[in-house]
Amino acid sequence: MKPFKLFFIALVALTLFSSCSKNDDDTQPVEAEPQFPMKTLLEIGPMELTDTVTDLDSFIELGYEFKAFKNGKITALGVRIPNNGEFRVTLWNSVTEEILATQMVTSTSGLLSFEDIAPIHINSGTRYLVSVNTNSYYFFYDSGEIVFPAEADDFIITTCAYTYGADQNFPSVTVSDQYAGMVDIKFVPEN
């Protein structure tokens, strides 16, 4: 019986040591799936596309304010505009009104288009705002019902915001029953 125990112990030890590998330290962490909060909200939420506004005489800086439930990074900014062209997209710290990133994004035939940016780390619970400067946009509405705040993925979208003009000014006028845009972010949460 003693040789059997020795054989069994040797077999277990060999199995344990052979499962260890130098390559285990080379394993890269899996990055979380990216999230697109406004795209998700429009797909699952109560608002419907009710109007398409094109070629206004004046420009408007419009977007939405949000808070993430998780820390992470914003890696791209995007737009869906009815007209083709380049549009300025801005990411703001909503509390300080500081510009965190600005990117020109090309809109093509009303499709959602993104441009990569240097990753911007965002903190859970901090208010941010993303906006686009345009004279053409889609209008989403829910029969006068309050839409915001609304949850989408790891976000709460707190309000829609805008200000008139072509200058890069913080959108300080807020509304809670409609959304005009569309501007969005690509967010990668920390694991």
Q: Decide if 178 contacts 46 (C-beta within 8 A).
A: no
Q: What average pLDDT does the chain have? A: 87
Secondary structure of 124-172 as H, E, C letters: CCCEEEEEEEECCEEEEECCCCCCCCEEECCEEEEEEEEEECCCCCCCC
* Rounded CA Rg of the chain: 24
Q: 35-83: per-residue pLDDT in tens? A: 999 999 999 877 889 999 999 999 999 999 999 999 999 999 999 999 9
Is a pLDDT exceeding 60 seen at residue 1?
Answer: no
* Fold that domain 61-189 belongs to in CATH: Jelly Rolls (2.60.120)
**Mean pLDDT across 138-160:** 90
Q: What is the pLDDT of residue 16?
A: 46
Q: What is the pLDDT of residue 5?
A: 54
**Domain boundaries, given as residue ranges, for the chain:** 61-189
Q: Which DSSP symbol is given to 35?
A: B
Q: What is the pLDDT of residue 134?
A: 96
pTM for this entry: 0.83
